Each structure stands twice: as C-alpha cells, then as structure tokens.
A = this chain, B = another copy of it.
Amino acid sequence: MTGHSGAIGIFDSGMGGLTVFARIAERLPEESVIYLGDTARVPYGTKSAETVLRYARACADVLLARGIKLLVAACNTASACAVPALEQSLGVPVIGVIEPGARAAVQRTRTGHIGVIGTMATVSSGAYPAAITALMPDAQVVGQACPLFVPLAEEGWTEGDVPTLVARRYLEGLRGAGIDTLVLGCTHYPLLKSVIGPVIGQSVALVDSAEETAVTVEEVLTRLGLRAPAGSQARREFLVSDGPENFARVGKRFLGGDLDCVEWIDF
C-alpha cells in the first residue's frame, strides 16, 4: 500500500482523543481516519511511563497493520511518554499533542507565565515545560496534576457543585501563580471548560491542543506529499479494545453526534 492511499491513524487510551479526532476530521474531510481507543487498558494517566510506552507501541502496531500513513497520539499521557520513542522506531510520521499544545500556549501568552494541568503521568514527565521553553526560553511554566478530572468527565459531571469544588481545590495554587494562559493538557479537560474557566478566572486563556494538532497533521501530510487526492472517499472507523457499546454511548459527549460502527478488537 503506498503512503497516500492510507488513512490517518489516531490512538488514545480511551475516548478523550475524540476531541482531536473531531478537529482532524473537520479540517481534513477528504482524509480517511481510523481511531483506536484502548479502552481495555484505560486510563494511561495513572500508570508508569514504561507501561504507557508499551501500550502505545501495541496501539501503533494495530494501526500500522491497517496501512496508516501517519500516526497521531491523541492522548497527552501517551504523547509525553511515548512519542519520542515511536518517532524513532516507526516507518510513518508520528504526531503528538504536546508540541501543538505548547505552540498554542506560546502564541496566546503575553506574560510568559503559563500553567499546565494534566494527568499525574503527563505532569511528572515534564514534557510540557520542555516543549514550551524550547519555543520560549524565558517562559515560566507551572504544572498541576488533576487526577479526578478524567473520572468526572467520563461520569458526565461536567458542571455544578462537585466539579466546581474539585476544580477549586486543584487550581488553588495556580490561581496565586499569576498565569495568563492555562494549557488543558489532557484531552478530557475541554469537557470541563465551563467549570475550569470561572475557577481559574476569565482573564486566563484556556488552550487545548486539538485544533493545533489538526493544523500540524495537515502541514505534515502536505509537506510529505501524503494528502489524499481531491474527491477521495473518506472512511471513518472506530476500533476499541473493550466495550464498543459504552464507547459509542459516551463518545457522543465528545463528538456531539452518533458514532456508528465501533469495532471491538483484541490485542
């Protein structure tokens, strides 16, 4: 199979990456996309970097076997822990969400004081501070892990007293740190925007990397001559390692529309 007849492969630990899928599918309507949610091993964010890398390789192998031309790690944890290693070892371009997110933050900030929230694994990895200071060496980056945000988003408790109290507790330190930009460093967090925004303060810009990741995918495909020919028939496929019905049901919250045809695969 030659490069440009293949699809874009996207993987995530579960359904958070659907926010990235949506931006890529909108921006590149003629490209076929295969989304793989590793729902049997979800979450990645509480696990060690070694285990996350192992799972990310397994996801990449599944997608490569389906002839993808480019791989997107649509998961901050996997991007932080696995993209550098995958870039070295795979035969296709690999794009994570950390560098696009860092670029978006640097474009937004005026003071250079940037906050980053994410899973324990993402925050511990130091990947965001590294990516941000590579672009803006004098940036001040403060990180905060928010482990309860993912279960809250998956439970659908995205507004009201419980998520507000949880957000206040996690963001207390960042509120005193004088940031003007906050990176939502986990693909689930955009679902909690209406809580995070008021708690952190309306003067702080919230950045999520989905849109910027889609821009990067377009740039890379174009540069490498891998764009699908005009008029191509685009396919959208969803693969999961567990619970296709649940994925289709909860996935609606992320896509705002039905997901038909979710396939269960064992790997």
Contacts and interface: CB of A to CB of B under 8 A. Distances in A.
Interface in A79-137: none
A147 B152 CA distance: 9
A165 B160 CA distance: 11
Contact of A41 (B40, B165, B169): B40
Nearest to A39: B47
| Copies of this protein chain in the complex | 2
Nearest to A40: B51
Interface size grouping (class) on chain A: 20 to 34
Given A41-B40, A151-B151, A242 B48 contact: yes
A166 interface: yes
A260 interface: no
A189 to B, nearest CB: 15
18 contacts: A39-B47, A40-B41, A41-B41, A42-B46, A46-B154, A47-B243, A48-B242, A48-B246, A147-B154, A148-B148, A148-B151, A148-B155, A151-B151, A162-B162, A162-B165, A162-B166, A162-B169, A165-B165
